[in-house]
Amino acid sequence: MSKISVVIPVWNAAKWIGSTLDSLGAQTHTDFEAIMIDDGSTDDSAEICRRYCAGDPRFRLVQQVNAGVSAARNRGIEESSGDLLTFLDADDMLPPDSLAVMLRLHDETGAAIVAGRYLRTSDPERLCREWTGKDSATAKHEVAPSDEAIRRGLYQKRIFNYPGGILYAHDVLRGSGAPRFRDCRYEDLDFFYRAFERAGEICVTDAVTCLYRDTPGSFMNSWSASRLDVLDVTDRIERHFSGRDAHLLRAARDRRFSAHYNMLVEMIRHGVGNPEQERRCLSVIRDLRSGILADPEVRIKNKIGALISYLGTPAIRLISRLSPK
């Protein structure tokens, strides 16, 4: 059996952290260490974590001055000692067989990364109680070269940039040039392709390996100026692949187009007055839209956005305002 390090950034998560840690304690694969990085919480999060540490030596609490989720994840990587590592957010949960499924596929395929699916739900506790493991046992999987997995992720045909439900061999995250999370709100998107590049092959499974707690006030369900970080992240992704593989560069441009179009729509829908960022988004949309329409791999959603953009900014504004928040 392989020891798995589970890194859990914690910040003011007292409402959820107990359920999250319960789901970890209920795993059918029992050889793990849970590294809880308390990032300067001001609620009862640390005290709740201490209770789990007192009752189970596999749980360990590390406290630091508030530095953000990226710094917490990076600290967890440095503190970890397992053969493999995965991340779990403090308000999410793991199905009971999550670690076992990912470990089995790692052992069977030899892939340095195993990427499962995450499931959005408002009631992960119920799903954990009712979990039978039947779907996991019959889930399909395939092994893909890392560049093919990155390409799919950038085209958004498969979401790999959610931090939970992905198992990494420690070699991917150790040694010279090992990737770390950068300090931005889309740190997971910024991280995934750099981590995948260090793995020769990725095992992609349809098994659900993480339960994402979908709450109305979550980052992705509300507006915050920090969401504009995705513009910088996708600019950086395109630069990363420029002058390299042409297929990956096209995928990177599609992801960049998608981010800029989506943020423009979100700013309009939420009545955000930011002319500078609107102009930035429009400039990228106009630069990339012909390539988006010509690329057969691009999702229909992005092609529709590209077509609408040819009708001019008023058309984008009208469509955006008609879309539900």
pLDDT in tens, 252-281: 999 999 999 999 999 999 899 899 999 999
Over range 82-97, report the average pLDDT: 97
Euclidean distance between the first and the last CA atom of the chain, given in angstroms as a whole number? 47
Q: What is the 3-state secondary structure (H, E, C) of 60-74?
A: EEEEECCCCHHHHHH
Q: Where are the domains of the chain?
A: 4-219, 223-322
Of the CA atoms within 13 Å of residue 77, those in its CB half-sphere come to 20
**Residue 145, C-beta contacts closer than 8 angstroms, at least 6 positions apart:** 200, 201, 202
Cα torsion 157, 91, 4, 197: sign:
positive
Reported as type and span, the H/E element at residue 272 is none
Name the nearest CA neighbour of 264 among 215, 299, 231.
231
CA–CA separation, 27 and 12 (whole Å): 24
How distant is the alpha carbon of residue 24 from its chain centre? Answer: 19
Residues in the chain, overall count: 325
pLDDT at 128 over 80: yes
pLDDT tens digits, one per residue of 162-199: 989 999 999 999 988 999 999 999 999 999 999 999 99
Q: How does residue 208 score in pLDDT terms, banded at 50, 70 and 90?
A: very high
**Residue 69, C-beta contacts closer than 8 angstroms, at least 6 positions apart:** 9, 11, 39, 181, 187
- Decide: 142 and 203 in contact? Cβ < 8 Å: yes
The CA–CA distances, whole Å, from 277 to 65, 182, 254 equal: 32, 22, 19
CA–CA separation, 293 and 49 (whole Å): 50
**Residue 247, C-beta contacts closer than 8 angstroms, at least 6 positions apart:** 147, 151
Long-range contacts of 272-281 (CB under 8 A, 24+ apart): 272/223, 272/225, 274/225, 274/228, 277/228, 277/231, 280/231, 281/231
Portion of the chain with pLDDT greater than 90, in percent: 90
Least trusted range by pLDDT, from 238-242, 301-305, 319-323: 319-323
- Decide: 119 and 92 in contact? Cβ < 8 Å: no
Over range 108-119, report the average pLDDT: 97
DSSP 25-39: HT-S---EEEEEEEE
pLDDT at 322 over 80: no
pLDDT tens digits, one per residue of 8-31: 999 999 999 999 999 999 999 999
- 4-219 adopts what CATH topology? Spore Coat Polysaccharide Biosynthesis Protein SpsA; Chain A (3.90.550)
For the record, the structure tokens of 247 come out as 């297929």
How distant is the alpha carbon of residue 169 from its chain centre? Answer: 17
Helix count and strand count (H, E) for the chain:
14, 8
